[in-house]
Structure 1
Amino acid sequence: MRVLLSTLLFLAAMLLGPLGWSAPLSAPEGRVILSVSGNITKTNAPERSDFDLAMLESYPLYELEMVTPWTEGTQRFQGVALKELLQSLGAKGDTLRAVALNDYHATIDLKELADMPVLIAVKLNGSHMRVRDKGPLWIVYPMDSFSAADRPRHEANMVWQLRSLEIH
């Protein structure tokens, strides 16, 4: 019931859209942990937007509880709605290429973000994630919502140790 409630609240917030980030994007003060490039209109670095942890956590944070193939038991992820982050940057395109620290990458169809609560998780079970724990950022899908047939594609898109997003 708790998972259902948190998913419903997340979906409601996603459907209402971002709260409106019209202010210019400030420069990161801490270590850059995410760079977004490609077809975006709001930048704070040459041809990209760089984010430190504090900047990401300034967005509304949402929660997903689920079981993943890479962890034991139910996990609680907290993070930024990927859809809201992209909207705040004026992202336009059909696909997003998510790249990990080890250069693993996945291509995500941006249409599927319209009504699916996909997060860029900054916390796992209430704690920031270290690189050894698949952090500092992890793209997470609501895996408990998918049929067995849909799981492999979405699992492949759950990029951990995320370092960059490229909008095409």
Structure 2
Amino acid sequence: MMRALADAHIPFSIGALNIGDSDHTLALRLAEEVITEQPYAPISETSLLKVRQRLQQADVLLLCPTAIGPGNLVLIQEALQAARDGLSVVLVTAPFNTTCAPGEEIPVEGSTTEHLLKSVAARDYTGGQGSYYFEQLVHTGAIIVESVGSALEEIRKGASSQAI
């Protein structure tokens, strides 16, 4: 997604990402701003404040598939609050119906919303809290897309200058 945003000349901020992650390394090359967090650490108050500030300036918030654990759950909560405050949110479903566990697949049956929520549930390591927040994001009107191309289209529709 970061490469697609950069190739489309859409400026974006990203984070919080852990130092040393491959996503962090790529983001440092492509993003306008990278909010950085220490490896294996919960999101600090400093990083959380930076995330909140960026969300207030963003035109669109894009959430890509990732594992949801105790360390990043607060970022999903911030996304929900930003959506409730009126920020446009685009949710990208997991490609190829995959989970974080090798060999597991999610059935493709059902609507795009059902597929998204099943995909999130398969990557939720918070006892269901992450799934709950994603369900709430859907209820706030978040746009669900199934591809990078569709995400770029939605960002172009909603972004006057800045994506996060």
TM over 0.5: same fold?
Answer: no
- Give the strand-richer structure, 1 or 2: 1
TM range (shorter): under 0.3
TM, length-normalised to structure 2: 0.25
Q: Write 1 or 2 for the structure with the bigger share of helix.
A: 2
